[in-house]
Chains A and B, each alone.
Chain A
Amino acid sequence: MEMFTWLDKPMSGMTFLNMALGAVIVLGFILGVVTYTIYFERKVIGWMQWRIGPNRVGPLGLFQTIADVLKLLIKEDIVPAKADRTMFLIAPIIAFFPSFMVLAVIPFSATHIFTAASNVGVIYYIALSALTIIGVVLGGWASNNKYALIGGMRSAAQMISYEVPLAMSLLAVVLMSGSMNLVEIVEAQKNFPYVWYIVPQFFGFIIFIISATAELNRTPFDLPEAESELVAGYFTEYSGFRFAFYMLAEYVYVFAMSALATTMYFGGWEGPFLPGWLWFAIKVSAFIFFFFWVRATMPRIRTDQLLSFSWKVLIPLALLNLVATAVVMTLV
């Protein structure tokens, strides 16, 4: 619990050093996780499609992603002549930063290594993940490319539409646990022996997982980067490490969203026999696998259907779930 107390202590050189060190370790750790998430995706989808997947660089292709990232890093940084230069340069960074910042509140294990047990954890996550939209829209706009513009606009419409049901479904969990602190939400699920919030909040979880898929721009909601229509969507004009930033942000969010789902609905690090961090890793991996599985199976939904599905179906249902939860919580 030592980490949580840092913020309360007066800022000294030592605390600052500790915090900086912690941040760097988390960054390195997440980069490693993301590297192998991408490898995992390519392998899993490869197997689902009767292919082998990456198998050339390193044993079993384990260094494939590292080689890809290195290649992207040493590529020429191309800025289109007609692009809005400043905006074009900072847009990937705006999209990229929040994806790491949201991880600050995720409790990875019972010992709370390198996490902040903020009292507004849920709100913090939702608010920061919404910031990414700005980076995406900005990138689409600044590229001065028609495909990118349409892709950026689609993303904005989609992400804003699905933030609402996502937040509402999470709010129902907050009502049940009586706290927005993610650590306390996990602790609350400990109370009844391993009955996680997936059981009382099953309906809410369905809404959450659909909204999460849309929020992550993953199939069947991958319209912003619908390659068959918009070439590559908002990052059509991006190449090199700026493109890598967008891709990285996307995969960090896959990890973060899986971690959030685990925390909110599946009891976080809780579980018998195995150590907490391992339980957490298993649950998160299962979610990540689910996203990949859906990607290998589903075709893409259409823009107008996407929006009407959110506003006409998901949001009313999420509201209903929220009200029902509130009523039940008052009565019980």
Chain B
Amino acid sequence: MAIRTEELLMNIGPQHPSTHGVLRVVVKVDGEIIVDAEPVVGYLHRGTEKLAEDLQYTQIIPYTDRLDYLASMINNHAIVGAVEKAMDLEVPERAEHLRVIVAELQRIASHLVFFGTYLLDLGAMSPFLYVFAEREKIIDLFNRLCGARLTFNYMRVGGVKWDTPEGWVEEAKQFVQHLKKQMDMYHELVTGNEIFLNRVKGIGKFDTETAINFAMSGINLRSTGFNWDLRKNKPYSIYDRFDFDVVVGENGDCYDRYMCHLKEIEQSLRIVEQALDQIPEGPVMGKVPKILRVPAGEYYSAVEGARGELGVYIVSEGKDKPYRLKFRRPSFVNLQLLPKLLVGQSMSNLIAILGAVDIVLGEVDA
């Protein structure tokens, strides 16, 4: 006689150590195998888009800091880039360089956090502390630049708020050299580990077609072997001046996503290095009207965020506040495939897959 078994309904989150915030996944498990999964989002919803309708364009910038709080600089870049494009404003060279430097450093910091937390999810404690020590150095650089350590509010429409303090460029150069050496250690510690490879190879696989159908972008799309990076394909700011490669994966599994993150850190280091060498002297703020009025119309502009295409869609009536502001948040879009990936996997794989999709709840819920 077969023993009667029951499916178990489990709530992973919203209070759970490895949902990276307040994501809740309602899973039905048969033993340890997931038969159904449903992500529940919205626990961190703050209504950023609605709030933005009552704010002047400069006032929106600090709100974007709190979207993807691991990559505030890139969010800043997205909103100021969109307004500049809509108003056709000139940005001084030095400001453009500073923007690229901080955006890429921020990307490195964000990917480092991915690396650390992913390994923490998989049960390895030490990498988390190693990368946070390195991230701390980036945060210190930002701190000296703009006085904040997480929500920077650094960029302005038409430039950046602060010029570099004395010796900052040299310090940043030293850091780039330092991190290059550290990357070898990370590979040695983690990438070759047999247990780690067994946990991530061939797990959470999807192909390019699925990724495109689900409008995925960033590393989730590139890990399937599809070459798409806004910095290369639709260059914004001054990215067309730098020499770097777009990192693509092969199989679209968790291992590829992990490797893409690490390799992208190396590419970002290349960009930062070049930008630090080329940075010209000059003003950091261009000539902009005191009150920003975006001409009536609809504008879309996007940057390559740490997690994918971060788009800003502005509907303006020609006033100093947007009529409607929409953020295309890559974390939110990338999360949509999760239920399909989870079905048939075990509980341990749930963590591996969710971690590799690399979401930030501030961005998912906005």
Contact = CB atoms under 8 A, between A and B. Distances in A.
B201 to A, nearest CB: 12
B348 A226 contact: yes
Interface size class of A (residues with CB under 8 A): 20 to 34
Interface stretch (A187-195, A252-260, A300-308): A300-308
Contacts, number: 82
Interface string A46-59: 00111100000000
Contacts of A223: 348
B255 to A, nearest CB: 13
A45 interface: yes
B358 to A, nearest CB: 15
A297 B124 contact: yes
Contact of B351 (A229, A295, A297, A298): A229
Contact of A229 (B18, B126, B129, B198): B18
B356 interface: no
A300 B123 contact: yes
Contacts of B18: 227-229
Interface string A222-245: 110011111100000000000000
A222 B125 CA distance: 12
Interface residues of B, number: 30
Contacts of B253: none
A296 B129 CA distance: 11
A150 interface: yes
Interface stretch (B114-122, B150-158, B167-175, B211-219): B114-122
A229 B195 contact: no
Contacts of B16: 231
A227 B15 CA distance: 12
Interface in B97-153: 119-126, 129-130, 133
Given A220-B195, A227-B17, A229-B347, A299 B123 contact: yes
B193 A298 contact: yes
Contacts of B348: 223, 226, 229, 300, 302-303
Nearest to B128: A49
Contact of B124 (A51, A300, A304): A300
B199 A302 contact: yes
B288 interface: no
A51 B126 CA distance: 10
Nearest to A297: B126
Contacts of B189: 297
A71 interface: no
Interface string A96-121: 00000000000000000000000000
B196 interface: yes
B40 interface: no
B125 A296 contact: yes
Interface in A173-219: 219
A299 B8 CA distance: 27
B48 interface: no
**Majority SS of interface residues in chain B?**
helix
Given A226-B348, A299-B196, A150 B124 contact: no
A146 interface: yes
A106 to B, nearest CB: 30
A50 B133 contact: yes
Contacts of A228: 17-18, 120-123, 351
Nearest to B8: A146
Given A150-B347, A228-B120, A305 B126 contact: no
Contacts of A45: 125-126
In this complex, which of B119, B190, B199 has the most chain A Cβ atoms within 10 angstroms of its Cβ?
Answer: B199
A45 to B, nearest CB: 7
A159 to B, nearest CB: 17
B32 interface: yes
A146 B347 CA distance: 12
Interface string B310-339: 000000000000000000000000000000
Given A146-B8, A302-B348, A305-B198, A49 B130 contact: yes
A298 B126 CA distance: 9
Contacts of B347: 150, 229-230, 303
A300 B126 contact: no
Interface string A14-50: 0000000000000000000000000000000100111
Nearest to A46: B129
A300 B32 contact: no
A223 B123 CA distance: 9
Nearest to B198: A305
Contact of A303 (B32, B125, B190): B32
B125 to A, nearest CB: 6
Instruction: Kindly list the 10 A-B residue pairs having the minimum CB-CB distance in the complex, ordered from nearest.
Output: A300-B123, A299-B124, A228-B18, A49-B129, A299-B122, A302-B348, A228-B121, A299-B123, A299-B196, A49-B126
Interface of B: 8, 10, 16-18, 32, 119-126, 129-130, 133, 189-190, 193, 195-196, 198-199, 346-351
Given A229-B351, A302-B198, 13 more contacts: A49-B126, A50-B129, A50-B133, A51-B129, A146-B10, A147-B10, A219-B124, A223-B348, A226-B348, A297-B124, A299-B123, A299-B195, A302-B346
15 contacts: A49-B129, A51-B129, A146-B10, A219-B123, A222-B123, A228-B18, A228-B120, A231-B17, A295-B125, A297-B126, A299-B122, A299-B124, A302-B349, A304-B32, A305-B199
